[in-house]
Amino acid sequence: MRDLDNSFGFQLRMLHLEVDRRARQALDIFGMTPARVTALLVIAANPGCTQTALGDALSINRASAMKMVNALETLGLVSRETAADPRAHAVTLTAAGHEAMDAMLEALRKADEAILAPLGPEAREDLLATIRLLSVQPCKAD
């Protein structure tokens, strides 16, 4: 049997599976999912971004980004404003979106806490620093 314990991709996938499952549970009462919260966070960090820019930030294409915005708009969390370029839409959080985001982040923080329980403060900082180092930060949408 192959030594899966040493496969970074496999281990990360297993961890993500668990984190995602817990996040999904935590977000269920909001009618949200991890993918939607991620989109919401990117929009919050880049108010007025276009749908195409949002897609680039999330590594998804225009059509998929539009569907996400549709879902968030239906939930009343974001709105499409007119942009300088009349072809584009400027996507921004509504007041309800800002409020909801705070509640969701707190719910996610609790879900993360359950996962991170085995780690002390230093180990958590090290882990976060390492992940940040590896991750191409796709939160710039402009």
Partner DNA sequence: TATTGTTATACTCTATAACTATA
Partner DNA sequence: TATAGTTATAGAGTATAACAATA
Please report how close the Cβ of residue 80 comes to a second copy at its closest, in angstroms.
20
Q: What sections of the chain are H helices per DSSP?
A: 8-27, 34-45, 51-58, 62-74, 95-116, 121-134
| 60: CB partners within 8 A, 6+ apart | 68
Binding of residue 30 to DNA (CB under 7 A): no
Stretch that binds a second copy, among 48-56, 62-70, 77-85, 116-124 (CB under 8 A): 116-124
DSSP state of 94: -
37 touches 129 (CB < 8 A): no
CB burial string 54-81: b at 16+ within 10 A, e below: bbbbbebeeebbbebbebbeebebbbee
| 60 near DNA (CB under 7 A) | yes
Q: Does 67 bind DNA (CB under 7 A)?
A: yes
Contact between 23 and a second copy per CB under 8 A: yes
Which residues lie near DNA (CB under 7 A)? 33-36, 50-53, 58-64, 66-69, 71, 80, 83, 85-89
Which residues of this chain interact with a second copy, rule CB under 8 A? 1-2, 4-21, 23, 34, 38, 41, 44-45, 58-59, 101-102, 105, 108-109, 111-112, 115-116, 118-119, 123-124, 126-128, 130-139
